[in-house]
Amino acid sequence: MKAVFKKSNRILFVGFLIISLIVVGVCVFVLVKDSTTMVGDIIACCFIPIIYLSFAIIPFIYNHKAYLHINDNKIIGKFGLLKRLECDVTDVTFALAKFDTLHIVLKDKKYCIRGIENAYAISAFIQQKMPFSPCAVTKEVIENIKKRTKNRKRYIIWVYCLVGLSFVWVFITMFLTGLRDLPEFSQMDWIFFWIMWALEVPTVIAMFVFAIRSRKGNLKFEKQNYEIRRSVLESAPLLSGPGYLMAVFADCEFTQRITLYGGCIESDPLSACYYIEVLNEDYKPKTLFQTEIFISEDYDEMFGVFLNITDKFI
């Protein structure tokens, strides 16, 4: 299986390059024509396009000629800024996909691979092949997960509130100073101005503190949460349905389980139905949806994106 990487934006790089060359050319022309121009001004004018060009080069070389192949239980890849990965699938302890980013956790290393269009498919493929040992789902473990989840939500709410508060201080100061420019400030305006900064600085610092806390240990938390969900869905008793058990599927993140039954009508062996179960707040399966009996032969196409965990229940 191969990862599909997004193409780098060469138009952005070329655009920044052209603009940078034009600005540098203008600076050189001014330096030659105007002898009164300060050298510092020319250096500053040349330094700005260099900075823009540097920012343009980074996305251009990032993931340049990147690849990620999974063949014969081996993972081989090159990505990012000249980063490389070569390991066995059995060395992977966790794989997680978020939008176009793939996280691969080994026993002693972590890799973050960005810009993958089929990140979820790659993650599901690795999860199906990597070794997994069910964990003990105790009441203490579940309570710890709930507490961590609640804390993360609270930190994120604080971040948004502090972002809004930082703008409130600015708007209040603008209102109290009458939208005057700095040279027109009165003594009272300057007092309002410095009070605003005295409030703004700790607000921004607190915002970053809560943002860091909300992301601290995220991957470890996601791994533990995944192990609990997978352990429950692979061990919890199945619902008793009509007919005989055909297959059991789960999504790649193990948030739901699909149980497929065949022969639901005695006279029609192709008749089937399936149940969809999700986990409640206590990590116990509950029925979300039950289909009516239908006729179908193409089960592989219907559940092709899910992981087949039927062997756990045979």
Q: Where are the domains of the chain?
A: 10-61, 67-129, 139-216, 232-313
Average pLDDT over residues 170-196: 87
What was the pLDDT predicted at 81?
A: 84
Name every residue whose Cβ is closer than 8 Å to that of residue 192 and which is 6 or more positions away in sequence: 173, 176, 177
| pLDDT for 36 beyond 60 | no
What was the pLDDT predicted at 168?
A: 93
What was the pLDDT predicted at 256?
A: 92
Which carries the bigger pLDDT value, residue 300 or residue 139? 139
Confidence label for 65 from pLDDT (cuts 50, 70 and 90): confident
For residue 180, what are its two tokens? 């005057």
113-123 residues labelled b (16+ CB within 10 A) or e (exposed): bbbbebbbbbb
The amino acid sitting at 213 is R
Q: How many CB atoms lie within 10 A of CB 232?
A: 20
Average pLDDT over residues 245-253: 88
Confidence label for 21 from pLDDT (cuts 50, 70 and 90): confident
Radius of gyration from C-alpha coordinates of the chain: 29
Q: How far apart are CA 82 and CA 84, in angstroms?
A: 7
Confidence label for 206 from pLDDT (cuts 50, 70 and 90): very high
What was the pLDDT predicted at 52?
A: 66
Q: How many CB atoms lie within 10 A of CB 75?
A: 24
CB of 308 within 8 A of CB of 248? yes
Confidence label for 8 from pLDDT (cuts 50, 70 and 90): low
Q: How far apart are CA 233 and CA 227, in angstroms?
A: 10
Predicted TM-score (pTM) of the model is 0.71
Q: How far apart are CA 71 and CA 110, in angstroms?
A: 20
CB of 93 within 8 A of CB of 106? yes
What was the pLDDT predicted at 156?
A: 92
